[in-house]
Each structure stands twice: as C-alpha cells, then as structure tokens.
Amino acid sequence: MSPTPRSLALLGAWSVVALATVGAPVLGPLWLACGAGLLGLCAADAFRLRGAGPIEVERGVPPSVAVGTWSPVSLHIVNRGERRLQMVVYDHHPAVARVRDLPRRIALRPHESARLAYAIYPTERGDHDFDRVELVVDSPLGLWRAKRRAGSPEHVRIYPNFRAVMRYALLARSNRTSQLGIRKRPRRGEGLDFHQLREYREGDTLRQIDWRVSSRLRKLISREYQDERDQRIVFLLDCGRKMHSKDGELSHFDHALDAVLLLAHVALRQGDAVGLMTFAGERRWLAPRKGVGHLNALMNSVYDLQTSLRTSDYLEAARDLSARVRKRALIVLVSNLRDEEHEDLSLALDLLARRHLVLLASMQERALGEALNEPIRDLDAALRVAATRRYLQQRQRAHRMLRGGGALALDVEPRELPVALVNGYLDVKSRGVL
C-alpha cells in the first residue's frame, strides 16, 4: 500500500499550516486537531482499502498469435467484494510484444464485471509467457492505492506471420489470387495430369479437343488438365548469421518463414508433398508429407527457430539433403546470397541438380534500392551510390552464372519473397519440368 498524490497534497497543506503557527501560537491546538483528523481519515481510508473483497480476472488469448501483426487479448474482471472499487489495470504481456489500449482505468460496483480488450504486437517468434494481471486499486477517498495480482500466468506460442496464408486461402476460394500478385500460367498440356472432359470453350487449343468423343456426342469436347500431383517440394532453409539482417521490424529469417509457409500451403493444396530441412543453425528435418493438415506440423516445427552466428555451409547442407531425399524433388533453397559465396553455392547447387530441380530464393536488402534512389548532393553520396550499383551488378552476375548452371534463381526484397516464390513454383508446375 502506498500514498497517492492526493494524500501527499493534504500532508503538504498541513505542513504549510505548521509554518503559520510559528508566528501565531494560538493556532497550535487547531493545527494539532487538523493533524489528528487527517491521521484518522487516512487510517480509516486505509482500513477500507484493506477490507476490499477479492477480484477475479480471466484472460483470453487467441490460440494462434503471429509475429508482426496485432492480435486481440481480452480481460474479464469481476469484483467479488461488497464495496465499489476503482482501479487501473495492467497486464504483464510478453516482453517481445508492444501493446495498445493499456493500462485502463475502470470502476466496478459490488459483484459487477467488466470486459476489457487490448492488442499485442509481437516482434519475435517462439515460446513466451504472460504473467499475472496487475491491478492498482484506489481507496474510497483516493488517499491510498494498493497493488494486487490476479488471474494466472499463461503460455503463448508466437508463430510466423500466417496471415498471408489465410488471405491466400480466402482469395483462392473466389479465384482472386491475382490480388496478391500471383499470376496464373497458361497450361501447355505437356507433363500435366488429365483431369476431366468438358464442352469446348472459346480459347481452347485444337490439341485439347477429344475428336473421338466429339464425334460420338456430335459436339466439341475438350480435355481439361490439371497440374501434376504427388510431387515433392523440400525447403532448404538457411539459419546462418546473414539471415539475421533486418528490413524494418522483421528479420530476413522471419520473411523467409512467411514465404515458406505460403508456398507450403499452395503446394499442399496442389496435392504435392512438402518437407523442410534447416542448416547453419539448429538442425531440423521434416520429411515430405501430403495433406493440408501437414501445414500445422510444418508451422510447429519452425515457429521457435532462430538464426545463429554460424557461417552458411551450402555444400554440407546439400550433401545432407541429398542423403535424405532420394526421389526427384523441387529443392527450394532460401538464403541471402553474397557474391563472394558464389563458388561454394555453385558447387552445392550442382550436387543437388544431379537428381533434383533447384530453385534458389535469395533476399536482397531493401536498403540497396533506397541507396540508389538517394539524391546525390555531395561526394560521399556519389561514392555510396556508385558502390551500391557495383555491388548489385556483381550480385546480378552471380545469379546469371547460377542460372547458367541449370538452377532457377530469384533475387527479390524480403517483403516480395512470398509471392515471388509462389509464382516460381506455379511456373515450374505449368511447364512440367519437375
């Protein structure tokens, strides 16, 4: 229990009166009486605060909380006592999350309840905890306040940002995935599985027409194909120190996980099997499996992954993956390529390409593009732009050499990676090269 500014103000006024009694001794008894009254008032107010009844708090947290997004949290507070209470509500949320709409001041009559809503914005993934809710309760006269703890601690898992997956699923139902920037590829009819027969539509090619069925039914019938199913997509995810770079609040590794989850969702919906292996950090292996439910297993296997201080050894990772995945698959290597690493990476991609189709997804720092657009006002700015342009040219040259070796390669900013990966995957499926 601690005094409030109100009680301290009363004490200060009483002290000022004490100075007045120095020149007027006749006021001494009055000053003492005021002091006794103030003491009695404070004691009575403190007694009533200590006699306040119990307070119950129940917290509601969503079952899934994503990094980099606002998630709602609710507090249900019940005054079980027989006195009216005024209080300020604080919640000890995870330290890695920002919060809005807290603290909150509320007043509750006896046996009255209130429901408060606030939001958290996590900036790191992993396992984190809510501590108990803290209530700062005011005494009836506002002379004292006391801190109470209520409710119970709660564990929460903070996942990668799965909102893009949810948005894709919603748009896919209404055939509006183009709003995300995902492009539909025209199907050539080669390397694709037969799906069904249907009536001819304007735009169908002659190769699609089934002439035998058309002659029997006396109307044009086209064959409709679907992308090949039962293929394997395996992510090779770099957890090395380069992936700790940040663009805004999220690291490159966080952006990489967002892209992996979105492409995994799309591939699983296409009927393909999805697996994952990490390297240059904590080693994790998830064998390729089919079914949309496998996305939960994938998410639970990566939500607490963190980057390490290790240097990425691409060749070692390629050897490890080659020993685990014997059947042909699309290997999606997600990293952040530096031009000086081209030779090591080229050897790793050559090893993987002996059996698999390889797609390199590299993330380019957003600061590079911003540096090129910076106005040149002095020599330092000119040198910075020239050095940036030279670095990007070397990076483009390295990617061209990798593509010349047979690998598919993307080099995009982190926030563009999810859509770019999906488009790359759909391009592979439409061309039937896997």
* Contacts within 8 Å (CB) and 24+ apart, 23-27: none
Classify residue 195: in a domain, yes or no. no
The answer to whether the CB of 425 falls within 8 A of the CB of 351 is no
Which residue has 């429901």 as its token pair? 115
How far apart CA 220 and CA 282 sit, in angstroms, is 58
**Are both 26 and 60 inside the same structural domain?**
no
Question: How many CB atoms neighbour CB 23 within 10 A?
Answer: 7
Residues 73 and 34 in one domain: no
pLDDT of 193 reads 56
| Domain CATH number, residue 261 | 3.40.50.410
Nearest to 360 by CA among 342, 381, 383: 342
* Beta carbons of 139 and 45 less than 8 angstroms apart: yes
Amino acid 125: pLDDT: 92
Number of domains in the chain: 3
Asked if residue 209 belongs to a domain, the reply is: no
Whether residue 350 is found in the same domain as residue 373: yes
Assess whether 73 and 37 both reside in one domain. no
What is the rounded distance in angstroms from the CA atom of residue 307 to the CA atom of residue 387? 28
Same domain, 257 and 405: yes
Helix H, strand E, coil C: the string for 257-305 is: HHHHHHHHHHHHHCCCEEEEEEECCCCCEEEEECCCCHHHHHHHHHCCC
- Note whether 364 and 282 are same-domain residues: yes
Structure tokens at 266: 């799309």
**87 with 156: CB under 8 angstroms?**
no
Helix-then-strand count for the chain, H and E: 11, 22
Boundary (domain end) residue, out of 144, 159, 174: 159
The pLDDT-based confidence of 267 (bands split at 50, 70, 90) is very high
What's residue 190's pLDDT?
41
Q: Is residue 303 part of a domain?
A: yes
Q: Say if residue 104 is in the same domain as residue 34.
A: no
Q: Is 204 inside any structural domain?
A: no
Which of 255-259, 318-322, 334-338 is most confident? 318-322
Nearest to 264 by CA among 298, 305, 227, 226: 298
Sequence-ordered alpha helix ranges (H) in 147-251: 163-173, 211-217
Least confident range from 30-39, 266-275, 293-302, 345-354: namely 30-39
**In-domain check, residue 217:** no
- In this structure, is the dihedral angle defined by the CA atoms of residues 13, 19, 25 and 29, taken in order, positive or negative? positive
Least confident stretch, 17-26, 52-61, 255-264, 409-418: 17-26
Tell me, yes or no, whether 288 and 421 share the same domain: yes
Q: Tell me, what DSSP letter sits at residue 378?
A: S
Predicted confidence at residue 168, as pLDDT, reads 64
User: Domain holding 125: CATH number?
Assistant: 2.60.40.10
Give the pair of three-digit tokens for residue 392: 């990007």
- Per 3-state DSSP, the chain is made up of helix, strand and coil in percentages (nearest 5) of 40, 30, 30
Give the single-character DSSP code of 327: S
Residue 21: domain span: 2-41
380 and 290 fall within a common domain = yes
Tracing tokens 């958290």 back to the chain, one arrives at 120
- When pLDDT is averaged across residues 174-200 and rounded to a whole number, the result is 57
Q: How confident is the model at residue 226 (pLDDT cuts 50, 70, 90)?
A: low
Residue 193 lies in a domain: no
115 shares a domain with 152: yes
Domain boundary pick from 139, 159, 179 = 159
- 49 falls within a domain: no
State whether 240 and 325 are in the same domain: yes
Output 363 or 391, whichever has higher pLDDT: 363
Residue 305 confidence class, pLDDT cut points 50, 70, 90: very high
252-269 helix and 417-431 helix, angle to the nearest 10 degrees: 30
User: Are 278 and 403 members of one domain?
Assistant: yes
Domain membership of residue 198 (yes or no) is: no
User: pLDDT tens digit string along 392-409?
Assistant: 777 777 777 777 777 788
Q: Which of 133, 159, 185 is the C-terminal boundary of a domain?
A: 159
